[in-house]
Structure 1
């Protein structure tokens, strides 16, 4: 499946070259599949079905809670549900997990609460709805008309204004949508792609350290810098399929990247305080516990940075790093 970062691909269905979103060949539009094999719902006391939603305009969002590209869409999805819900819109989140910890219902419930999500979320642990819809990416948005036909598909970020205009057209709301700052972030200045710490993906650890599976000890000195988009380790770390886990009493990670922000998907059985240094300057520490996405750097300078993470908590678990 496609990686979630830097997804800017678009897919307007072949029959959906719509004028005012009224298809010239409505019969050839794809009918929205049913929600299939879900493990339950959050924010809904009863299961939702596409058949039961017939007559509403439906926006289906495939997402996963540790994905920064998904998290950034929550504010406008909430806003649309609140503003357009009374006029016939229903936003539906389909949570399809990337990591094993995202399959756990308490984790999903907590993430929904922390992000303030106010629309129903179906838990798609076995990817059955993902496959039924032939989905490819996190996030992906399917706009369904009142007759149950998919009229617009967009993958990734950068399409909020377009989607809102389409929603308004399907609801017969006159006038243009208001553009809200931040809905469509400019990701063009990011030069470092997302990377993973586990062995399921290509390992971004700097090759000078001879990255290894299982438990191994590493070290780097103060002057050593990894290649751009790579990282160095200090301490004893155990690399498993998904995560990288600190085994020694202390550990360090040094990352070199070109972006303004850095986010870390991480967890810790006991609260772990991360000391953060960026380009030699100390930042506010970050406390990690619940398996989720944490922001280590939230800057505006789109240039090359070296970020150091230091902790004294064995068991700190790292999954991926994403840049913004």
Structure 2
């Protein structure tokens, strides 16, 4: 999720700075989608995001349930005695979290009768979240509550027609799509329409072979404000991951249209930032 991705640089920085002072970082990867259970995809993502601390796969949600968690991401701090002493839901509160880490490392050093010199706090240059009014929106039948045309919760292949005036925060499909519980797959050249309110748009997608998708915003091929995965108004879906589609200078309301140029692309979810 994009919220987790925005957290990675901070956790990396803490791990690098405080590891020798006794900080142990363990990432728990609990997959939201089936392709996220594949260790090859996890290893590739760790390399892409420069994650240096160890990561445990929680494919059966055992750790997730043990901590009674319901959120991505969530940060826990455990003291030298094994007690959970800090719990933060979601991204953010980075200064607060680091201050607590430093406090716990000092307590650890005192308990072990060790000297410690933590130096200054970390400095991280990372993308910040913006004000978002659009919800995470799923394409698969198990969670497509924001689908504006077609039948919500229904799997199978059908043809869709885009509306002339889309409602806000509502997902519309155009062309022929085959819907599964986790995703919707293009059967022919097809399209997606979504009126959103945010600064950035991300898409979780997959394709067995490369599929080109044109990205249009407010009736124009997207160039200004394009995300890092969009080149000349196009994104090529090649693998299972989150794609950075839109990065507007300021948050606002826009109409996003994706024009899929072939069959076989799977769309899982829109997320916003």
Deviation (angstroms), 1:219: 2.1
The C-alpha deviation readout for 1:185-233, integer Å capped at 9, x for no partner, is 344x2111111001111432224x5555311001226xx1321111221
Match of 2:191 among 207, 228, 252: 252
Is residue 21–residue 118 contact of structure 2 (8 Å, CA) maintained in 1? Answer: no
1:143 and 1:278 map into 2 onto residues whose CA distance is 42
Match of 2:179 among 239, 246, 260: 239
2:119 and 2:84 map into 1 onto residues whose CA distance is 23
1:90 matched to 2:42 = no
Is residue 272–residue 287 contact of structure 1 (8 Å, CA) maintained in 2? Answer: yes
Match of 2:236 in 1: 287
Match of 1:135 among 58, 63, 69: 69
Is residue 144–residue 151 contact of structure 1 (8 Å, CA) maintained in 2? Answer: yes
Deviation (angstroms), 1:86: 1.1
Match of 2:121 among 152, 177, 188: 177
Deviation (angstroms), 1:238: 0.9
Is residue 13–residue 124 contact of structure 2 (8 Å, CA) maintained in 1? Answer: no
2:19 and 2:119 map into 1 onto residues whose CA distance is 18
| Structure 2 runs not aligned, ≥5 long | 107-116, 223-232
Please report the RMSD computed on the Cα atoms of aligned residues, expressed in angstroms: 1.8
| Structure 1 runs not aligned, ≥5 long | 1-66
1:323 and 1:279 map into 2 onto residues whose CA distance is 17
1:83 and 1:180 map into 2 onto residues whose CA distance is 12
Is residue 165–residue 176 contact of structure 1 (8 Å, CA) maintained in 2? Answer: no
* SS of structure 1 residue aligned to 2:135: coil
Is residue 191–residue 259 contact of structure 1 (8 Å, CA) maintained in 2? Answer: yes
* SS of structure 1 residue aligned to 2:26: strand
Match of 1:264 among 186, 194, 203: 203
Deviation (angstroms), 1:134: 2.0
The C-alpha deviation readout for 1:56-102, integer Å capped at 9, x for no partner, is xxxxxxxxxxx111111111111111111111111110101111111
Q: TM-score, normalised by structure 2?
A: 0.87
Match of 1:193 in 2: 135
1:122 and 1:139 map into 2 onto residues whose CA distance is 14
